[in-house]
Amino acid sequence: MRRSSLPPLYFVIPAFLVAAGMLLPVAYLLLRTADAGWETVWRLVWRERTARVLLNTLALAAAVSGASVVLGVPLAWLTTRTDLPGRRFWAVVSVLPLAIPSLVGAFTFVSAWAQGGLVHQLLRQAAGVARMPDLYGFPGAWLVLTLLSYPYVVLPVRGALLGMDPGQEEAARSLGHGTWSVLWRVTLPQLRPAIASGALLVALYTLSDFSAVSLLQFESFTQAIYVQYQATFNRSYAAVLSLILVALTLGLLALEAVARGRGRYYKVSAGTARRQAAVPLGRWKWPAVAFCAFMGLVSVAVPVAVNGYWLVRGLVAGMGVQLDWQALVNSVYASFLAALACVLCALPVAILAVRWPGPVSALIERAGYVGYALPGIVVALSLVFFGVNFARALYQTLALLVFAYVVLFLPQALGAIRASLLQVSPNVENAARSLGLSPWRVAWTVTLPLVRPGLASGAALVFLTAMKELPATLLLSPLGFRTLTTRIWSAVSEAYYIQAAAPALLLILASAISVALLLAGERRSA
Amino acid sequence: MLRTRSARSARTAALLASLTLVALLGLQGLAFAQEIVVYSGRSEALVAPVFERFTQATGIRVVARYGDTAQLAAAILEEGQRSPADLFFAQDAGALGALAAAGRLEVLPSHVLDRVDPRLRSPEGLWVGITARARVIAYNTELVPAEALPQSIWDLLDPRWRGQIGWAPTNGSFQAFVTALRVLEGDDRAEEWLRGMLANQPRSYANNRAIVDAVGRGEILLGLVNHYYLFQLLAQYGEDFPARNHHTRGDAGAIVNVAGVGILDSSRNKEAALRLIEFLLSPETQQYFTNENAEYPVLLGSQVQTNPLLVPLDEIATPEIDLSDLADLEGTLDLLQRTGVL
């Protein structure tokens, strides 16, 4: 692992540039905080309420990540390693909640499950149920955010399971360990970095989310930030609160570094890894199918059904369905560019962090996570500021929008590529080096093909998340540029539910197709 | 020999590329000569048809950025003098007030201002209301008998409504209502009302839409909202949607607020932007807004027929208050945070 040489400049310079770009929002926040004056800063920071809301938010983030791991790891395992009937279908379903914007997830959750909602109407007619349980506050926010974000665990764990050398498991089995014992003592420990990076993404998503928590009446820290913009238009106060969020993120990153562990995740022995054999589920087959089906039902089928309900209502009422193809094309195009840009930016950072671990590369890697935990509006405003003042020609162009997506979503690509890279033995690269290839050639011809699963899942995560991005798209996109998500948002916020249904269904469909394509590719490269 | 040729062709290519670029930029400049940029906190579905008709009438193209009112205002403040926006169309007067306070709005000419009810525009003439909305109490018609409806906002403190009222404390329109309460009855009374409400355990919704929806579902009995969301939901759910609006009389619960526009000081198309404002204030457009979105027209005189679904503005006992009295947002936020509402 240790190398005598320093990392070559063509990894270091791009990585530094990426890190600098990622830190732009922080620079902006410091600037605005300076405007506020120290007195205000202290007053805001040392309010009892600030501390309480912060703790609530942390508790929510912990609960959502915990639940996502508990649900996501079995889903990933069932859909990669077992003889689960309809494995590929369930694999797509287990990733699909990523396509659902939190606004849509929360809105449909309330429409379906709240008092007097669609489910309650059915239950009232069928069984005379008078009251539904109260879903608002912590339980509702916990449920909705878990249902929206457990795929952040599923995807990296899938990647790790597929990239894992089955040799160790086979060795354990030959030493007399049964299926469960192998799973607990060999497979799971090897999944640690993947689980940690997925859980981190979930936790940071929870910290930055606004739509879901506000619709579910959970007082989270982002709400405090939004209130400052909304009520007093005071960007300085909002900046102070956002900086607290940045500090929190750094804390979580330190935690993840511990959870990730220092183990070795690649194989050192010679020889080609065998194809992994599917674990027979036996009598657990149908309970496993039921579990996958239940998760798909509550996380994907409910939002689809609620939107379908509105679509049908609209059709019955004689309103024509307008499919906005331009919005679809814009969504797919911008998200595709975002995925590409994120992977390109994440690669040098991930290579540096994994192959040349040290304080500097760790700092560079951490810098990439800052934008992800900030509410979208904060990142958007920081890029409004820098764009208009220092990159006027790029302001409100697709280029700046894609850059905003990179600042917001880089960690998704970074985590996936990192986890993949950990499974590639540096010995392979060293062998290539000893045969006379330059580090550059090694990266292109040896490392890159080996981390393809990581590149693919990273790109997929970014693509799906960018498809549903709202605040930065609203502020930074070229004038007149509309996406499916901006359409949904503008319709739902004005209570045009019927008009929101078609773009929402289109968004989920387009994402489902891309997930299916991606998983097909994953199989080929694994 | 080979090298020079390739160098020459590279130079030719570069020249061609830059010529194309210049041509494209020039074309762009020509095509967009008559164009204004609107930052709109009002939704595309509502205002885009109006912009189209304006373009047909004047030949001036309107390019809009749609978004959340507060976030667009923050963006304009961030953009400073380099803002591409000519006109800001805000969902509430608070956002316009914030831009006015930052010195970012241009004074509008009196021939425009004079058309509008003086209560519904900035006294300095920095912004003007385009449509008006009333604060109301939405109630569930199946669960609340008409005689039980609160006659004033103080009746909401009655324990019978415990856990049954929805409000949206993060919302600009709610905060304008609290500011009105402070102006009308004083800070102490406002605080008393807020604390009394908190004792009654209201539910904090994300926005007005969610409140009216919850009232219709029977999740809550009453909701403090703007009047027009109900009509949107009636159009979606049908007439049997069990919610209606109720007006209190003469108190802060009956204030009228506006969605309005202002021209940015940084605009280089002020003439064209002004023409758009004139168009928005034309009787035809005013009629469109009241018909389509069930809002109140703002014009003086009776050139526009208020949507027949609405209680006419002069029949609502609105308190004696100007929108410009509602500028102290910071004081209201302070109060909301001190009492623990926010």
Q: Report CB contact under 8 Å: A474, B209.
A: no
B59 burial (CB, 10 Å; 0-12 / 13-18 / 19+) is exposed
Q: Distance between CA A182 and CA B2 in Å, rounded?
A: 66
CB-nearest to A233 from B65, B70, B82 is B70
* More confidently predicted of A167 and B128: B128
Q: What pLDDT does residue A2 have?
A: 44
CB-side neighbour CA atoms (13 Å) of A494: 25
Could you tell me the pTM of the whole model?
Answer: 0.90
Question: Is the pLDDT score of A77 beyond 80?
Answer: yes
* Token output for A234: 């005071």
Q: What pLDDT does residue A526 have?
A: 44
Q: What pLDDT does residue B66 have?
A: 95
The shortest C-alpha distance from A518 to chain B (Å) reads: 32
Q: Report CB contact under 8 Å: A49, B340.
A: yes
Find residues 466-495 of chain A whose CB sits inside 8 Å of chain B.
Answer: 471, 474-475, 479-480, 482, 486, 490-495
Task: Name all domains of chain A by residue range, CATH numbers in brackets.
Answer: 9-262+280-525 (1.10.3720.10)
Interface residue B81 vs chain A (CB under 8 A): no
Q: What pLDDT does residue A266 have?
A: 75
* Token output for A394: 């790029």
Find residues 157-186 of chain B whose CB sits inside 8 Å of chain A.
Answer: 170-172, 175
The shortest C-alpha distance from A511 to chain B (Å) reads: 24
Question: Is the pLDDT score of A133 beyond 50?
Answer: yes
Find residues 390-409 of chain A whose CB sits inside 8 Å of chain B.
Answer: 392, 395-396
Q: Distance between CA A245 and CA A238 in Å, rounded?
A: 11
Q: Which of A255-264, A306-315, B253-262 shows the lowest per-residue confidence on average (mean pLDDT)?
A: A255-264
Q: Report CB contact under 8 Å: A214, B216.
A: no
Question: Is the pLDDT score of A492 beyond 70?
Answer: yes
B268 burial (CB, 10 Å; 0-12 / 13-18 / 19+) is exposed
The shortest C-alpha distance from B75 to chain A (Å) reads: 6
Q: What pLDDT does residue B26 have?
A: 46
Interface residue B342 vs chain A (CB under 8 A): yes
Reported residue count of chain B is 342
Q: Report CB contact under 8 Å: B219, A388.
A: no
Q: What is the pLDDT averaged over residues A481-492?
A: 92
Q: How does pLDDT run across A206-219, given as a tens digit for each residue?
A: 999 999 999 999 99
Q: What pLDDT does residue A178 have?
A: 82
Q: Report CB contact under 8 Å: A223, B170.
A: yes
Q: How does pLDDT run across B52-73, given as a tens digit for each residue?
A: 999 999 999 999 999 999 999 9
Question: Is the pLDDT score of A270 beyond 60?
Answer: no
Q: Which of A175-184, A514-523, B117-126, B180-189 shows the lowest per-residue confidence on average (mean pLDDT)?
A: A514-523
* Token output for A272: 């080609």
By CA distance, what is B328's nearest residue in A?
Answer: A232
Q: Report CB contact under 8 Å: A223, B84.
A: no
Q: Report CB contact under 8 Å: A231, B329.
A: yes
pLDDT confidence of A274, banded at 50, 70, 90? Answer: low
Helix and strand element counts for chain B (H, E): 12, 10
Percent of chain A with pLDDT over 70: 96
Q: What pLDDT does residue A23 have?
A: 94
Interface residue A381 vs chain B (CB under 8 A): yes
Q: Report CB contact under 8 Å: A115, B171.
A: no
Residue A438, Cα to own-chain centre: how many angstroms?
Answer: 34
Q: Which residues of B touch A497 (CB under 8 A)?
A: 236
Q: Distance between CA A156 and CA A152 in Å, rounded?
A: 7
Q: How does pLDDT run across A51-63, given as a tens digit for each residue?
A: 889 999 999 999 9
Residue B269 φ/ψ, nearest 5 degrees: -125, 45
Question: Is the pLDDT score of A176 beyond 90?
Answer: no
User: Using only C-alpha atoms, what is the Rg of chain A?
Assistant: 23
Cα–Cα nearest to B196, from B219, B167, B226? B167
The shortest C-alpha distance from B4 to chain A (Å) reads: 31
Q: Over chain B, what is the mean pLDDT? A: 89
Reported residue count of chain A is 526
Q: What pLDDT does residue A1 have?
A: 42
Q: Which of A38-42, A193-197, A218-222, B202-206 shows the lowest per-residue confidence on average (mean pLDDT)?
A: A38-42
Q: How does pLDDT run across A330-361, given as a tens digit for each residue?
A: 999 999 999 999 999 999 999 999 988 888 88
Residue type, B319: P
The shortest C-alpha distance from B107 to chain A (Å) reads: 21
Q: What pLDDT does residue B29 have?
A: 45
In the three-class reduction of DSSP (H, G, I as helix; E, B as strand; rest coil), residue B246 is classed as strand
Find residues 186-245 of chain A whose CB sits inside 8 Å of chain B.
Answer: 214-215, 217, 219, 223, 226-227, 229-235
Q: How does pLDDT run across A401-412, given as a tens digit for each residue?
A: 999 999 999 999
H-type alpha helices, A279-358: 285-296, 302-316, 325-355
The shortest C-alpha distance from B319 to chain A (Å) reads: 23
pLDDT confidence of B30, banded at 50, 70, 90? Answer: very low
By CA distance, what is B65's nearest residue in A?
Answer: A479
Interface residue B73 vs chain A (CB under 8 A): yes
Question: Is the pLDDT score of A516 beyond 90?
Answer: no
Q: Which residues of A touch B214 (CB under 8 A)?
A: 114-116
Question: Is the pLDDT score of A269 beyond 80?
Answer: no
Q: What is the pLDDT averaged over residues A133-148?
A: 94
Question: Is the pLDDT score of B275 beyond 90?
Answer: yes
Q: Report CB contact under 8 Å: B44, A482.
A: yes
By CA distance, what is B72's nearest residue in A?
Answer: A475
CB-nearest to B45 from A231, A384, A490 is A490
The shortest C-alpha distance from A293 to chain B (Å) reads: 29
Find residues 126-155 of chain B whose CB sits inside 8 Å of chain A.
Answer: none
Residues 6+ apart with CB under 8 A from A452: A420, A525
Q: What pLDDT does residue B27 have?
A: 47
Buried/exposed B19-48: b ≥16 CB within 10 Å, e otherwise: eeeeeeeeeeeeeeeeebbbbbbbbbbbbe
Q: Which of A221-225, A489-493, B3-7 shows the lowest per-residue confidence on average (mean pLDDT)?
A: B3-7
The shortest C-alpha distance from A473 to chain B (Å) reads: 9
